[in-house]
Amino acid sequence: MIKQYKVAALGMACMLAAVTSQSIVPQEKTEKNDSNYTETVTSSQFDEVEETSTETVLLEKEEVTKQRVFLNESQMEEVESTTETEEVQPEIINGEEEASRLDGYVLPSVEEYLNIRFAPSTDSEVVGKLYVGTKAEILGEEGDWYQIRSGSVEGYVYKPYTVTGKEAEIFAVENGYIICNVLTGGLRVRENPGTDADVVDIVGEGEKFDIVELVDGWVAVTYEGETAYLSSDFVSVDYELGEAISIQEEQAAIQAAAEEAARQERAKQEAAASAVAKSKVMETVQRDSVAASDDDIYLLACLIHMEAAWEPYEGQLAVANVVLNRLKAGYGSSISEVIYARGQFSGANSGALAQILASGPNQSCITAAVEAFSGVNNIGDYRNFIAASYASTGSYSEYTLIGNHCFYKN
């Protein structure tokens, strides 16, 4: 992963060098005596973008691990504009609260959706819906109502069910409506906030992560199922908020969904009909009997009950013959070994079979076991079966459908 970001890290160093015609000097050898001084690469920022590859010599030499760049006033403004960090939490500047990116917008603070009405009254017609996770632009106010526009919908929403400004920003963080967008290559993902924390991984420019919370100078994100931290100097916080939907658009979407569901049901029925048409018709034949003790018969009957208690008798007989076919094929030297073999019948090792052994199988399952041992066979030499709804009939060399099971040969 690190090699992917060699060019990005080296490019960043070249960009900083190109911004100024002044020379770069080590931090520990320079006094802060110039009014145009700005520290464009702090020690923590440099730590976040530096390459670990030995090929990136410029960023690894000890004498340039901390750099100071002397810029003229216009150059300072240019650099500061490219490294500006967006804040989400309220900040007081000169006694006034910092403006919010959500000033002039409302978010619905409801469980599902907020009605958008034609006029500022609960008696007015509903013209659209502002679902949770969407936002609307405020056009004006009338008493307890905001006049809003979102998507194709204009109308009024009731103020008490909305949040705006900084309250909306905090609401978005708490409800997962913002994401962290990585702005640079080679950014380190850390286990805890701080440049001395262990590095979990390195991520690249453009990668996005769900935000857990905002910490001073750091953004806590969900990374591979765990909470990890990214420096806020190299990420942006972006909102993922949708738009309102009109009643007409909603009805059209519902109709489209119903049509798609019907199409899928038709396709399912057609596939089932095709599978039935291609299912091989198996004759019930008499074969040589298999010697069995009462314990063998009882164990097989219980296995049949576990797998096919509610299937037709033909399906129960087919399950019994699957077990006997596996016995003949050497899956085990006894009925017990076949049934309890690892990876054969999951219920045999999960406790399901034990419960039936304790309570007993039904009579038809006992009859199926006895007939199978006597040589009655209705699936030939098939040794596999699966629920018909999960069957991949196109991959089987032969198969037959009995009840809700598909018996097949690979």
Q: Give the tens place of pLDDT for each residue, 47-59.
A: 444 333 333 333 3
CB atoms near residue 218 (< 10 Å): 21
pLDDT at 1: 38
Task: Report in angstroms the alpha-carbon separations of 327 from 283, 321, 322, 334, 345.
Answer: 21, 10, 9, 7, 14
pTM above 0.75, yes or no: no
Residue numbers in the chain where pLDDT is lower than 70: 1-98
Burial class (CB in 10 A: 0-12, 13-18, 19+), 12: buried
310 vs 330: CA distance, rounded Å: 29
104 — phi, psi (to 5°)? 90, 5
The per-type count for the chain, helices as H runs and strands as E runs, is 11, 25
Asked whether the CA dihedral 226, 231, 236, 241 is positive or negative, the reply is positive
pLDDT digits (tens, 9 = 90+) for 90-105: 443 344 556 888 999 9
Tokens 């609401």 identify what position? 171
Q: Which residues pair with 377 in a beta bridge?
A: 285
Could you list the beta-strand ranges (E) of 56-203. Answer: 67-70, 92-93, 96-97, 105-108, 113-117, 126-131, 136-142, 145-150, 153-158, 162-164, 178-182, 187-190, 199-203
φ and ψ of 99, to 5 deg: -65, 150
- The residue written with tokens 């015609």 in the block is 21
What's the rounded Cα separation, in Å, for the pair 410 and 397? 5
Structure tokens at 268: 């399912």
* Orientation angle between helical segments 363-374 and 294-308, nearest 10 degrees: 120
Count the neighbouring beta carbons within 10 Å of the beta carbon of residue 138: 16
**Quick one: pLDDT at residue 97?**
55
Q: What is the mean pLDDT of the chain?
A: 80
> Which pLDDT value is given to residue 372?
98
pLDDT, position 196 = 95
What is the largest distance, in Å, between two alpha-carbon atoms of the chain?
104
CA quadruple 119, 120, 126, 132: dihedral, nearest 10:
140
Provide the pairing of β-strand 235-239 with 226-231: unpaired
Which one-letter DSSP state was computed for residue 198? P
